[in-house]
A and B are shown apart, each in its own frame.
Chain A
């Protein structure tokens, strides 16, 4: 169990050469080995979605993937959404529509929504709610999250 392997996690375009045990989850590796604590851990059994990141463009629950499985792949986390001081349209939409309260689930929701809209920008409102139902939020009652993602989708379609 304690044998370690050398892998490279490329997070938001930056390569992190790290050494991890086989059992190390991607979530733990991102947070602890790579110091990117914006990705949060809410349940460690794949239900809450707080740890959602994009791996090669796909939303992934990083608590259900081993770090070694992400070796050499492109990982995007919440820290990579903004360009310098310019927020991503999804981040702005969450702020403008009060899509967060405590903010703990927010990085997971942002990555989930960005991942889905980058893949399927014309997703229907109904399907969007289905997708968003894969992550849990305990503060907002979801409707402002849904409102925020729909607002961001409209803006992303226009640009």
Chain B
């Protein structure tokens, strides 16, 4: 069920493609088996990586029988390591070698690569490689790694801390001591894996004619992949083409540079041939980028009315053995530091945040980045405070949510217009909170434990280079460019720098362009994911593509529109103000005079003389957009039924009231929320990467690491408010990550609400049946 509270759209040409749930242009190929994914490409050589079977140690020897094609670190002398840079926060720059060079630092780290004519043979060869490693004591827990006597994952760090930030507002102590009540939460989010259904894959082919390599791979950032690989190999960017074909989900895991891709390009150049690697699921679970793994201690100081006066926090993020490129491992702890106060009005803030290295797989962005965890922790604090004050959790939130805009947070973020209170009130009404409380009471009398949980949050979206520059990143992602061309046949092509992987961006951008220039979206081709064809851009992450590529598309389309009107004015002998663009033609309003866009396009290239030098030849415009960013917001509600005998949690209902500004395609927007919520539910209840004490991963199959199935995800009810932001030119705010941000907090909150009679607090995700049962047993209150 979906309810739209307000649909007030701005339309370029007066047509109405924006705001409609048109079918996706991407779909016909994908439902026919004609999608083109990296693993579909044939290659002369298949590569298999030999990976470390231990978490920490020194390599004594690597032996392979004669006749096996193998590459080790000694073959790669002169190659630079992957070395992401930050110029702030006491960041310690540490490089990651493409193949481990004498030391291994996590289970699954690449030690060698073997190649053979077939995948099976490459696997056989890899089995025959014998790696001898002298094991050393591994660190898997960030808090243990912080100890004075802990070994160092890399020399040169203090207490294994690679990045550290601290924000303290002036007069914090004054606010703290004036409070009536201090509420404390100590929470943990376990390590997780984004688990796109398509694991990573790369295919590199050397072209002897041009001496270039084409790398086709599952990346969210093709242009930056090219830059990074060329930097490491020391070759000009013109020698490498990177293609991201159809990509089977990314969720952040395909954003960071995989060392495997560097090796593939090196090997294609070395062999002057084609090489391919498809990651298997085990590799993906143990050695692709992990996420979340954080401890947060948070204290809130409240006045007698439940108003939050001050917030004090300590964040410890387990960032693994290396820093990820390009965002660096600061992405989680530093975003958490800046955004922890979330949607609540609190003027005093004192927080420290550290990224700690351990002998575990490197951490990288995953849908939501830091906010699923900080929202979970902050909402636990709000629930506990509500309990302390003896009021409804929603009432405590009501007293603290920001409601005047623009609002400058204690950490300096400027929130544009949002609906933090309105979405919560909408959610309370839609879920029927009063009636639920009565049902909950009646159920308890029958020994059934129902619970309701609310999560309100802000989602920083659509930000360009200023936001990344503020982090001190050497590489500051940001702008997006669109080249919009009407070719001589009258067909429209938009070449974009962004690189979608399932979001339906082609369709949404076509809708924006269609409204401006008066053509049907199905005649607009959106070209992406190919560094030879698309302008330099940053890709798809951080709920940014629709905002940035959409903004650039709109700007470019406005230029095309202006030119078409000028041409039509010339050809129809009418004033541009009297001409409308509609259904593929320019019409003089109120007459039957018109000229098709196709014939104008033909004239723009082939009959330029008719414009007498007054209009420039050709019909192509480009535009670049680099906004400062905006904030989406939402309130998520979970209703759960907890079986106290088994610890099993059943989700009865999930409701989202969200505001992401103007919705371009409601069907696509709802789908993004659904998917995010499902991942959030998985994070809350099921998904956990488990290391044993030796640093070995116990969850290396999908029978151990458990994404939710259709059985675990309830119907998600969606409500929308559309606040038309002035911070983006399309008035859209972006919403790709939001579902994943609010859902974990709402689900854990609902579980705790259900278990109130037992006076327990589940402050850890995932809240597995084992953890819930352990808490219940320890409560001593089981019937």
Interface of A with B (CB < 8 Å)? 1, 21, 23-24, 28, 31, 36-45, 47-48, 50, 77-79, 81-82, 87, 91, 94-96, 98, 100-107, 110, 129-130, 132-146
B709 touches A133 (CB 8 A): yes
Q: Determine if B198 and A40 form an interchain contact, defined as CB atoms under 8 angstroms apart.
A: yes
Task: Give which listed residue, B30, B120, B199, contacts A42 with CB less than 8 A.
Answer: B199
Contact of B701 with A144 in the complex, beta carbons under 8 Å: no
Contacts of B23 in A (CB 8 A): 95-96
Could you say which residues of chain B place their CB within 8 Å of the CB of A24? Answer: 120
Given known contacts A138-B679, A141-B675, A47 and B702 CB-to-CB distance under 8 angstroms: yes
Q: How far is the CA of A134 from the CA of B710 in the complex (A)?
A: 8
Assess whether A81 is in contact with B678, with CB atoms less than 8 Å apart.
Answer: no
* Smallest beta-carbon distance A21→chain B, Å: 7
In the complex with contacts A132-B710, A138-B195, A103-B280 CB distance below 8 A: no
Contact check, B31 vs A94: say whether CB atoms are below 8 A apart. yes
Q: Contact at A45–B671, with CB atoms within 8 Å?
A: no
The interface bits of chain B over 5-40 (1 if a CB of A lies within 8 angstroms of the residue's CB, else 0) are 000000000000000000110111011111101011
Q: Kindly list chain B residues whose C-beta atoms are within 8 Å of the C-beta of A91.
A: 31-32
Kindly list 11 other residue pairs between chains A and B, CB separation below 8 angstroms, not including A28-B119, A101-B671. Answer: A39-B33, A42-B199, A79-B33, A95-B23, A104-B35, A104-B196, A136-B702, A137-B197, A141-B679, A142-B710, A146-B710
The A interface is mostly helix, strand or loop, or mixed, namely loop
Which residues in A have their C-beta under 8 angstroms from that of B676?
A: 141
Which residues of A sit under 8 angstroms from B35, Cβ to Cβ? Answer: 38, 103-104
Chain A residues with Cβ under 8 A from B197's Cβ?
Answer: 40, 42, 48, 50, 102, 104-105, 136-139
Q: How far is it, in angstroms, between the C-alpha of A41 and the C-alpha of B711 when the chains are bound?
A: 22
Most chain B beta-carbon contacts within 10 A, residue among A40, A42, A103, A106:
A103
Pick the residue among B27, B33, B246 that contacts A107 (CB under 8 A): B33
Top 8 A-B pairs ranked by shortest CB distance?
A38-B33, A102-B502, A104-B248, A103-B30, A141-B678, A141-B674, A78-B33, A47-B702
Question: What are 9 contact pairs spanning A and B, CB under 8 A?
Answer: A38-B35, A45-B702, A48-B197, A48-B281, A78-B32, A79-B32, A95-B24, A101-B249, A136-B197
Interface centre among B28, B31, B278 (most CB of A within 10 A): B31
Contact of A103 among B31, B199, B678, B710 (CB under 8 A): B31
- Once bound together, how far apart are the Cα atoms of A134 and B504, in whole Å? 25
Residues of B within 8 A of A38 (CB): 32-35
B contact set with A: CB distance below 8 Å: 23-24, 26-28, 30-35, 37, 39-40, 119-120, 124, 194-199, 246-249, 251, 278, 280-281, 501-504, 667-668, 670-671, 674-679, 701-703, 707, 709-711, 713, 715-716, 739
A103 contacts B701, C-beta separation under 8 Å: no
Assuming A38-B33, A102-B248, is B501 touching A43 (CB within 8 A)?
Answer: no
Q: CB-CB < 8 A to A105: which residues of B?
A: 197, 248
Q: How many Å lie between the Cα of A132 and that of B711 in the bound state?
A: 8
- Find out whether the CB atom of A42 lies under 8 angstroms from the CB atom of B674: no
CA distance A143 to B119 in the complex (A): 36
- Tell me how far the C-beta of A30 lies from the nearest C-beta in chain B, rounded to whole angstroms: 11
- Which residues of the other chain, A, contact B711 by a CB distance below 8 angstroms? 129-130, 133
Interchain CB contact under 8 A, B31 and A87: yes
Residues of B within 8 A of A79 (CB): 32-34
Q: Roughly how many angstroms separate A136 CA and B119 CA in the complex, as a whole number?
A: 25
| Complex contact A138–B249 (CB within 8 A) | yes
Candidate in B34, B501, B667, B713 with the most chain A CB atoms within 10 angstroms: B713
Nearest chain A CB to B308 CB, angstrom units: 33
If A44-B281, A140-B675, A141-B678 touch, does A98 touch B702 (CB 8 Å cutoff)?
Answer: no
| A residues less than 8 Å from B709 (CB atoms) | 132-136, 142
Whether A94 and B27, one on each chain, are in contact in the complex, defined by CB atoms closer than 8 angstroms, is: yes
Q: Is the CB of B251 within 8 A of A138?
A: yes
The reply to whether A139 and B701 contact each other, CB–CB distance below 8 Å, is: no
CB < 8 Å: which of B248, B281, B674, B678 contacts A40? Answer: B248
- Given the interface pairs A37-B40, A41-B39, A42-B198, the reply to whether A101 lies near B32 with Cβ below 8 Å is no
Give CA–CA (A48, B285) in the complex, Å. 14
B674 near A103 with CB under 8 A, answer no
